[in-house]
């Protein structure tokens, strides 16, 4: 019997009522895993109306009680950690180790949501004028929406709904239609933790369902992670509806390798950063910028990449899993062909990769290009596959110019033994997240995920303190409580407090 992935609306698990549906497929085998009926227009309306109704009571729940819900949830997530990772590995194709990391990084954000009483504290100043005090409070917005991608089925939903709900909002999650099984289990565990009916809703679908959520008058804020074209569409449409929007989008991340860096450290870090998760990370290192003589390490790096092989998630020797779909594989292979046609030096070609026992998987081996120039498609476009572009510059000045001329600004790193070079790089590079001798500088959740330029659309970033600001409004109160009933001697005809 085919497994049906349901919606979660007003505390009930029901199949979507749209005539459209999607087959959920194991990317390593093409085996059918489940069927995903899309949500109908009426389903979306019920979810929004239910969330708005639940908001009226949820916003009044004391903040410590909301924190206790998050404490119970993080306990359940930890208890079911390996189970979630196994579902995620089937859903997405990641190796089991990588899937466990995906789940754990999400749990870390839930742990931060447990600290919501401190994060919601306002400010107070006594006696701003005679017998006058001013203080600020933070209050929730209302119905919030999260639209999440296929590449982190646990972490990115957990970036969104726990903090939004801890702030006092209600939330509608629209997970990627390619990997809904992980999101379903996250929702089930949140319900088990004690989430009241209507506070968290989940709907399914594609562009039509997303547009319905964007256009609905009752939705107040939208969080999105995904590609640049989709992010731009969501940002423009959401802002046109006068909503609060944050969109984390594409990337082209550079690792700058100084000749004084430790060679083995560079190579070992670059291996996983370039091809881990099959390169399907918005923080993957897709461009290695060798400064001066450091280019001599490229051959050794290429040979070590040659030894890394993808495989099924149950294979403990697999370096990474398949690409998410045949279409994704075809797109990456087309970009590799474009790199060859434009004159890049293909040092390692992963297009003929095969994995024994899994002939139908979306496999692509590690791929390395040298002599890449900035006008080539493989440099200009986000490849989202296990493909590394190697470039050479003469000095740090040229490295900075190269990185700063990129339209993307998600993440970058520099490997060096020079504190002066590292300090200059972190100060002058026009990228939101910088690693120093760390290849993928994704911050822990007490900071925020801070991509720049074309990698981010909005004003307030994901998780951390900025997410709390995104999901709340600040209200400022100025109050006077005179000690007696005496009125002032004369009317105050100015705006000054007296």
Which active-site residues does the annotation give? 282
CA distances from 422 to 414, 451, 469 (A): 7, 19, 31
Distance between CA atoms of residues 291 and 422, nearest Å: 14
- Residue indicated by tokens 């059918």: 32
Alpha helices, DSSP H, located in 193-262:
207-215, 228-240
Looking at the chain, how many residues does it have?
498
Cα angle for residues 143, 144, 147 (degrees, 5° grid) = 140
Distance between CA atoms of residues 220 and 472, nearest Å: 10
Q: How many CB atoms lie within 10 A of CB 210?
A: 22
Question: Residue 436: beta bridge partners?
Answer: 414
Nearest partner of 74 among 194, 183, 223, judged by Cα: 194
Distance between CA atoms of residues 143 and 241, nearest Å: 14
Nearest partner of 243 among 216, 266, 269, judged by Cα: 216
Nearest partner of 312 among 320, 304, 300, judged by Cα: 320
Nearest partner of 256 among 452, 394, 373, 366, judged by Cα: 394
**Cα of 162 vs its chain's centroid, Å:** 14
How is residue 412 written in tokens? 């970058």
What single string gives the DSSP state of each residue in 377-391? HHHHS---SSEEEEE
Q: Are 336 and 349 in contact (CB under 8 A)?
A: yes
Distance between CA atoms of residues 237 and 456, nearest Å: 15
Phi-psi region of 40 (alpha: psi -120 to 50; beta: other; left: phi over 0): beta
Rg of the chain over all Cα atoms, to the nearest angstrom = 25
Maximum pairwise Cα distance, the chain: 92
Q: Are 209 and 41 in contact (CB under 8 A)?
A: no
Q: Are 311 and 355 in contact (CB under 8 A)?
A: yes
Element (H, E) at 165: helix 155-166
Those residues whose C-beta lies under 8 Å from the C-beta of residue 200, and which sit 6 or more positions away, are 8, 161, 165, 170, 171, 173, 187, 190, 191
How is residue 176 written in tokens? 């990627």
């Amino acid at each position: 019997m085919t497994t049906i992935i349901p919606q979660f609306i007003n505390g009930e698990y029901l199949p979507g009522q749209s005539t459209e549906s999607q087959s959920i497929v194991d990317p390593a085998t093409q085996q059918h895993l489940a069927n995903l009926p899309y949500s109908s227009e009426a389903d979306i309306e019920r979810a929004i109306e239910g969330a708005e109704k639940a908001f009226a009571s949820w916003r009044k729940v004391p903040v410590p009680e909301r924190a206790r819900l998050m404490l119970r949830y993080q306990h359940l997530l930890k208890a079911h950690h390996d189970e979630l990772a196994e579902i995620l590995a089937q859903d997405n194709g990641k190796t089991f180790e990588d899937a466990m990391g995906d789940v754990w990084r999400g749990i870390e954000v839930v742990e931060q949501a447990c600290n919501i009483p401190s994060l919601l504290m306002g400010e107070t100043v006594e006696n701003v004028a005679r017998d006058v005090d001013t203080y600020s409070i933070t209050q929730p917005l209302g119905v919030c929406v999260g639209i999440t991608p296929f590449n982190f089925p646990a972490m990115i939903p957990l970036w969104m709904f726990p903090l939004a709900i801890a702030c006092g909002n209600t939330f509608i999650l629209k997970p990627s239609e390619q990997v809904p099984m992980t999101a379903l289990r996250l929702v089930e565990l949140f319900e088990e933790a004690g989430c009241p009916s209507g506070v968290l809703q989940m709907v399914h679908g594609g562009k039509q369902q997303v547009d319905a959520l964007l256009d609905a008058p009752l939705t107040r804020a939208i969080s999105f992670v995904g590609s640049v074209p989709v992010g731009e569409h969501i940002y423009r449409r959401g802002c046109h509806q006068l909503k609060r929007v944050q969109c984390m989008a594409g990337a082209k991340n550079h690792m700058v390798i100084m000749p004084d860096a430790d060679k083995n450290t560079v190579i070992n870090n670059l291996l996983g950063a370039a091809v881990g998760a099959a390169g399907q990370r918005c923080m993957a290192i897709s461009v290695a910028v060798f400064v001066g003589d450091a280019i001599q390490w490229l051959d050794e790096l290429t040979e070590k990449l040659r030894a890394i092989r993808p495989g099924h998630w149950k294979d403990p020797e697999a370096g990474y899993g398949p690409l998410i779909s045949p279409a994704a594989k075809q797109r990456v292979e087309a970009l590799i062909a474009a790199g060859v046609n434009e004159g890049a030096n293909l040092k390692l070609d992963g297009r003929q990769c095969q994995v024994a026992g899994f002939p139908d998987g979306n496999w692509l081996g590690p791929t390395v290009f040298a002599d890449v120039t900035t006008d080539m498609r493989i440099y200009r476009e986000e490849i989202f596959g296990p493909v590394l572009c190697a470039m050479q510059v003469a000095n740090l000045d040229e490295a900075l110019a190269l990185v700063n001329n990129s339209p993307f600004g998600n993440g970058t790193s520099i490997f060096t033994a020079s504190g002066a070079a590292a300090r200059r790089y972190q100060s002058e590079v026009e990228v939101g997240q910088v690693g120093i001798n760390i290849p993928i500088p994704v911050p822990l959740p007490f900071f925020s995920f801070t991509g720049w330029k074309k990698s981010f659309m909005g004003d307030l970033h994901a998780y951390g303190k900025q997410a709390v600001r995104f999901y709340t409004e600040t209200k400022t109160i100025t109050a006077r409580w005179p000690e007696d009933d005496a009125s002032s001697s004369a009317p105050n005809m100015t705006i000054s407090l007296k």
